């Protein structure tokens, strides 16, 4: 899994950065991509990326401010012409369904794939045998949500030597043991715990919408392998950040530290910071509190490593 940032600016695009969108690429895990927010021109950014709209499976919208969803109608309309025929599910706050239906309806846009829109107020949004997605309300001018994506633990490695000793060859029996089933052999029963190593811990990714520092951000980011948090301003503008219901780089680092996250990625930068030179003070402020912090950069992949892999 890796994150690919398509937009890192706050409010409006600039010549250097587009507005908010980040993709979670899970090609090995489920041959799919999930998108978090879809600011204006996100589909243009995708055209300049290794991402494919045909692989897009889910879109999660944090809140209904324009810099986080104005790119949705165009992207949804273009998806089919770029090979996207499989169902696509949108998750977001109340009002998302109306926005999509009105914008696509008035423009007479035709969607020839199944589009499912699920409005929510937080809680458990999705779960299958590989992933679970939970959400909680943050603190912003309008309802803004954070998302916690949990990769479920995987079975441990089979002890090939022990299985050979017991006369079990690779095949269906291996699959049953991996799935937690006991098997019967001529020499007796073999139970999974006898031949399986420790489970491989799944990764946790937390992606937050716009927010002031709040308890929900800490809970969503608890022990996350990677936490994506807005850092709209330097800390010298903390009062401005508070007035506009945003966070500073220092506040994002404090959230990551209290949550015991493993890596912090800062994004959603004010357009007053034109380039990496002007953004450098933000990263220095954050690293003074939480050293394992990086700045999100557009069109750069951020691998999601397990803590044990670091």
Task: For CA atoms 218, 147, 39, 244, give the dihedral sign.
Answer: negative
Residue 36: how many CA atoms within 13 Å on its side-chain side?
Answer: 27
**In which residue are the tokens 């600011």 written?**
39
Q: If you average pLDDT over every residue of the chain, what do you get?
A: 94
Could you tell me the two tokens for 288? Answer: 């003074």
Same domain, 216 and 105: yes
Same domain, 181 and 276: no
pTM of the entire predicted model: 0.91
210 among annotated binding-site residues: yes
Instruction: For residue 62, list its beta bridge partners.
Output: none
**Pair (125, 217) in one structural domain:** yes
Name the token pair of 301. 């992949």
Q: Are residues 165 and 130 in the same domain?
A: no
Q: pLDDT (tens digit, 9 = 90+) per residue, 45-83?
A: 999 999 999 999 999 999 999 999 999 999 999 998 888
Say whether 67 counts as a known binding-site residue: yes
Gap between the Cα atoms of 27 and 12, Å rounded: 31
Question: Which value, in Å, is the radius of gyration of the alpha carbons in the chain?
Answer: 22
User: Number of structural domains, the chain?
Assistant: 2
Question: What one-character-per-residue DSSP string does 82-131 give?
Answer: GT--S-EEEEESTTHHHHHHHHHHHTT----S-EEEEE-SSEEEEE-SSE
Q: What is the CATH number of the domain that holds 217?
A: 3.60.15.10
> 42, 67 in Cβ contact below 8 A?
no
- The whole-angstrom separation of Cα 125 and Cα 138 is 16
Q: Is residue 225 part of an annotated ligand binding site?
A: no
128 annotated as a binding-site residue: no
Report the C-alpha gap between 71 and 51 in whole angstroms.
16
Quick one: DSSP state of residue 162? Answer: H
Which of 176, 195, 214 delimits the end of a domain? 195
Q: How many CB atoms lie within 10 A of CB 287?
A: 15
Q: How many CB atoms lie within 10 A of CB 169?
A: 9
Catalytic residues: 67
Instruction: Verify that 65 and 6 share a domain, yes or no.
Output: yes
pLDDT by 10s per residue, the chain, length 310: 999 999 999 999 999 999 999 999 999 999 999 999 999 999 999 999 999 999 999 999 999 999 999 999 999 999 988 888 999 999 999 999 999 999 999 999 989 999 999 999 999 999 999 999 999 999 999 999 999 999 999 888 888 888 888 888 888 888 888 888 898 888 788 888 888 888 889 999 999 999 999 999 999 999 999 999 999 999 999 999 999 999 999 999 999 999 999 999 999 999 999 999 999 999 999 999 999 999 999 999 999 987 645 4
As a residue count, the chain comes to 310
CB–CB of 217/229 below 8 Å? yes
Domain around 167: 160-195
Residues 212, 177, single domain; the answer is no
Q: Residue 41: CB partners within 8 Å, gap ≥ 6?
A: 7, 13, 18, 19, 71
Same domain, 165 and 77: no
Same domain, 94 and 180: no
Mark whether 179 and 257 lie in a shared domain.
no
Nearest-angstrom CA–CA distance, 120 and 138: 14
Shared domain check, 164 and 17: no
**Does 274 lie in the same domain as 131?**
yes
Among candidate residues 139, 172, 195, the one where a domain is terminated:
195
* 104 and 120 inside one domain: yes
Would you say 260 is a known binding-site residue?
Answer: no
């Amino acid at each position: 899994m890796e994150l690919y940032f398509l937009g890192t600016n706050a409010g409006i695009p600039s010549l250097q950065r587009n507005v908010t969108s980040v993709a979670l690429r899970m090609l090995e895990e489920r041959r799919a991509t999930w998108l978090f927010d879809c600011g204006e021109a996100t589909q243009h950014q995708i055209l300049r990326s290794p991402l494919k709209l045909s692989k897009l499976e889910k879109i999660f919208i944090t809140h209904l401010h324009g810099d986080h969803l104005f790119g949705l109608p165009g992207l949804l309309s273009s998806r089919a012409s770029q090979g996207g025929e499989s169902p696509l599910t949108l998750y977001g706050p109340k009002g998302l369904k109306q926005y999509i239906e009105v914008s696509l309806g008035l423009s007479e846009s035709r969607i020839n794939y199944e589009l499912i829109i699920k409005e929510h107020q937080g809680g458990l949004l999705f779960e299958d045998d590989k992933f679970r997605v939970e959400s909680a309300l943050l603190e912003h001018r309008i309802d803004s949500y954070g998302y916690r994506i949990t990769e479920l633990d995987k079975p441990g490695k089979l002890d090939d030597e022990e299985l050979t000793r017991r006369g079990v060859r690779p095949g269906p029996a291996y699959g049953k043991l991996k799935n937690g089933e006991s098997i019967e052999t001529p020499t007796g029963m073999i139970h999974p715990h006898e031949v399986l190593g420790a489970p491989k811990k799944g990764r946790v990714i937390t992606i937050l919408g716009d927010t002031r520092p709040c308890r929900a951000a800490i809970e969503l980011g608890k022990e996350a392998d990677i936490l994506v948090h807005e850092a709209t301003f330097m800390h010298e503008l903390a009062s401005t950040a508070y007035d506009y219901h945003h966070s500073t780089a220092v506040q994002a680092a404090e959230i990551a530290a209290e949550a015991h996250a493993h890596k912090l990625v800062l994004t959603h930068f004010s357009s007053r910071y034109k380039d990496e030179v002007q953004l450098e003070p933000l990263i220095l402020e954050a690293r003074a509190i939480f050293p394992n912090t990086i700045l999100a950069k557009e069109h750069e992949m951020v691998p999601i490593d397990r803590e044990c892999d670091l």
